[in-house]
Structures are given as structure tokens and as C-alpha cells.
Structure 1
Amino acid sequence: MTPVMSVEELSRFLDEEFPQIHAGGKAYFVESISPGEAVLRLKATEAHLRPGGTISGPSMMALADLAAYVVILAHIGPVALAVTTNLNINFLRKPAPGDLLCTCRLLKLGKRLAVVECGIAGEGDEDYAAHATATYSVPPR
């Protein structure tokens, strides 16, 4: 699968079509796009922490969902109305405060559905803090 959008094009698309992800300050960044894969960064702030000083589950879920959206758009083009139909996440360990990287891979890219898997880890960590799978509905082209 060859990407049809670059990091710059995707970042611009998100800024223009999905500005609410930057409410409270820009925290999500498209790090890389490659065949069948996207990597997003969450620059976690105090707002992303839960009691106990670890990054919250909702913050990791949002990162996985956004990474799924980005990897799909990277391969189909700027289709704003692609939507999540299912998101499943397993929290594996507590991530320390700091940036998280989410590597998201396309498992299936069909005409109507896309299925992805995402691994979330702290920067420099080899072990995942969370693993997610997502299914997206892709509108007819």
C-alpha cells in the first residue's frame, strides 16, 4: 500500500478540517507516514495525566483513534467523513509522563471498511503501554 498523502499534507488537513484536536494547545503531531503505516506523537501535558502521575486511558484512546484516522487518510486521501465504527484497546502497563508514540498499521483497506492496529509506547520504550485495534467506515468514493 502506497501512501497518497505526506506528513505535511496530513498535518495541514487535520489543522483545517479537525481543529478541535488542538483545543487547549497542539499536542498531536504526525511523525511519519510510510507504506501501510503512520506514527503519531502525543506531547503529553498535565492535562493528559490521571491521578498517580501516569498518562490517562482516554488520552491513549484518543491517540490511537487519531492515528487510525491518519493512517487511513494517508492511503485513501483527504476523506473527512471516514468514521470510527469500532475501537478496542488493551492497557498493558502504565506509561510514564512524557511523549507517547503510536505506530498504527493498516491490516485491511477495503472499499467500505478499513481495519488497523496500533501500538502505543513511551518514547524510547520497547514495550507497549497499550495496544488497540480499530475499524473505520470509509464513505463511497
Structure 2
Amino acid sequence: MSSTEALTLPSPDEINEMARESFPGSPNTCLELGEDYAVAEMIVTPDMIRPGGFVSGPGQFGLADAALWYLVFAAIGRVEPMALTSELSIRFLRPAVGDRMRARAALEARSRRSVVGSVRVWAGDLEHRPTAVAQGTYALPLEMASG
């Protein structure tokens, strides 16, 4: 694909259908997808709550990872289940409290072999008060890199 061709973005419904088939029981869904961003949501379940009523770090990490995965689909213009996490680091900023969490992944760079993005995680509707920030890289399948 040349750099002047527009990518066709998959819909959140397409992404969520594939994710339900590939990862039944996952608490994460894609809410929104744009050319250079993705928004994910996680419904907090009782097993994600830690002492003090805080949402667990692993739950927030999983949400950040899911948001980056959805971002990959925007960056490459299709749903690709075999895009894999290459690395992901997270910094927790404050306790997360609530029955749902959201994350917004933003595209930083894309190459033939990878997609790099940054993620902000927040509780409820408090996007202006992130509970965590993350940055990660997704490796694209080899057949994409060689094509």
C-alpha cells in the first residue's frame, strides 16, 4: 500500500466480534477507533478489586494492552489477531476506583514490522485524571512485514 492510499478502518463491532471469539470472557471492548487512536473500555469485576477498593494493576495493564492492540488495527487498516505485544511498560499515577475503566491509545510510530503507541488509562469519566500511563510496541506478523 502506498503512503497516499487511505486505510479502511475496521469498526469497533468488527474488532469486538473477533476479540470475543479469540478471547472469550475478556472484560475489554473497543469503543472507538480513529486513524491514529483507539479507545477501550473494561468493566471492572469483583476479582479485579484490591484492598481499599482499588482496581488492580494487572487489570489496568490488560486494558492498556488491549487499547494498543486495537490501535494496531487502525494503523494497518484491518483486524489482525496475530499482532503480538513486543513490549509494554506502565506507570501507575494514582489509585483507580470505579466500576469501569477506559484507555486511549495514541499512535506514535509505525514501521513495516511494528506499531508503537502511548496509552492513558482512567476511571469512569475522569479522562483528565489518568490513573496510569503506558507505552508499548506491537510486532506485526512476518507475512505483513515481507509483503
TM-score by length of 1: 0.89
1:41-69 deviations in Å (ceiling 9; x for gaps): 11112111111110000000000011111
* Contact 1:99/1:123, CA 8 A, preserved across alignment: yes
Alpha-carbon RMSD across the aligned residues, in angstroms, is 1.5
Q: Which deviates further from its counterpart, 103-112 or 71-80? A: 71-80
* Contact 1:119/1:128, CA 8 A, preserved across alignment: yes
The total of aligned residue pairs comes to: 136
| Residue of structure 2 aligned with 1:17, choices 18, 22, 26 | 22
Which residue does the alignment assign to 1:37? 37
Q: Distance in 1 between matches of 2:7 and 2:103?
A: 20
* Contact 1:3/1:75, CA 8 A, preserved across alignment: no
Go from structure 1 to structure 2 and tell me whether the alpha carbon gap of 1:124 and 1:87 turns closer, same or farther (over 3 Å shift): same
2:9 corresponds to 1:7:
no
1:78-97 deviations in Å (ceiling 9; x for gaps): 22211111110000000113
2:52 corresponds to 1:52:
yes
Which residue does the alignment assign to 1:74? 74
What SS class does the counterpart of residue 63 from structure 2 fall into?
helix
Which residue identity does 1:13 align to in structure 2? M
Q: Percent identity?
A: 26
Which consecutive residues of structure 2, in runs of 5 or more, have no partner in the other structure? 1-5
* Contact 2:67/2:104, CA 8 A, preserved across alignment: yes
What SS class does the counterpart of residue 70 from structure 2 fall into?
helix
What SS class does the counterpart of residue 8 from structure 1 fall into?
helix
* Contact 1:3/1:33, CA 8 A, preserved across alignment: no
Q: Distance in 1 between matches of 2:8 and 2:61?
A: 24
Summarize the alignment of residues 49-128 of structure 1 with structure 2, pairs less than 5 Å apart: 49-76=49-76, 77-125=78-126, 126-128=128-130
Q: Distance in 2 between matches of 1:92 and 1:2?
A: 35
Q: After the TM superposition, which segments of 4 or more aligned residues of structure 1 sit over 3 Å from their partners? A: none
| Residue of structure 1 aligned with 2:134, choices 123, 126, 132 | 132
1:102-132 deviations in Å (ceiling 9; x for gaps): 0011111111011011000112212100000
* Contact 1:49/1:55, CA 8 A, preserved across alignment: yes
